[in-house]
Structure 1
Amino acid sequence: MEILSSRVLLKPKDPAVTTAFYRDVLGLAIYREFPGGTVFFLGQGLLEVVGRGEAGAGPDVALWLQVRDLPATLAELCSRGVAIERDARREPWGLDEAWIVDPDGTRIVLVEIPEGHPLRTDARTP
């Protein structure tokens, strides 16, 4: 199978509220809009808020968003009224993570990769 493009699809209970959250509160840039949906840039991926869902978020799915400066990002989000579900902490795997949720309860894991972590190692360096 050859993958040419991909995106995460969210079907929110209230599309206007969820679209406003990702656009206005998180400040994600819009890739494109169409009747019934909005696609946002999500780093190297895309997030599409489309249609209307019934069940809401499930506990086994989360969005993983890498940020440059986790404390500054959390301060900015708090100033915009976003509740921090779990404060930042260093995980056993070495990443600094904090959690927020979108209006439907989808967990958003905010991640900073600290200096010296293997994910920051340039594999091209001998």
Structure 2
Amino acid sequence: MDVLSSRILLKPRDFDSSRAFYAETLGLAVYREFPGGTVFFLGGGFLELVGTGSEGPGPDVALWLQVRDVRAAVTELAARGLRPDREPREEPWGLIEAWISDPDGTRIVLVEVPPDHPLRVDTR
């Protein structure tokens, strides 16, 4: 199988609230909009909000968003009124993580890869 592109699809219960959260609170850039949907840039992939859901998120799904500095990201989000579900801390596997949630309760893990971590590719 040759994967040419990828997206995560979310069907929010309240589209307008979720769109505002991803665009304004998180500050994600819009890749494309169409009737009933918005696609955001998400690092190496995309996040698409489409339609209206009724079930809400499952507990076994989370978005993993790598940022350069988790503490700075949490401070920036706090200035926009978002409080983290869990403050930044170093995990036993060496990543620094903070947890937030979108308006539907979808868990979002903000991740910083420290300079000495094996996942680090960009050593700036």
TM-score (norm: length of structure 2) = 0.95
Which residue in the other structure is 1:104 paired with?
104
Instruction: State the superposition RMSD in angstroms.
Output: 1.0
Distance in structure 2 (CA, Å) of the matches to 1:74 and 1:121: 23
SS of alignment partner, residue 104 of structure 1? coil
Please give the residue correspondences for 1:1-126 in structure 2 after superposition, counting only pairs within 5 Å: 1-120=1-120
Unaligned runs of 5+ in 2: none
Unaligned runs of 5+ in 1: none
Q: Which letter does structure 1 place at the counterpart of 2:92?
A: P
TM-score (norm: length of structure 1) = 0.94
Equivalent residues, number: 122
Distance in structure 2 (CA, Å) of the matches to 1:120 and 1:2: 26
* CA distances 1:24-66 after superposition (whole Å, capped 9, x unpaired): 1100000000000000000011000000000101110000000
SS of alignment partner, residue 110 of structure 2? strand
SS of alignment partner, residue 24 of structure 1? helix
**Which runs of 4 or more aligned residues in structure 1 lie more than 6 Å from their structure 2 counterparts after TM superposition?**
none
Offset of residue 120 of structure 1: 1.5
Distance in structure 1 (CA, Å) of the matches to 2:8 and 2:21: 16
Larger gyration radius, structure 1 or structure 2: 1
Q: Percent identity?
A: 67
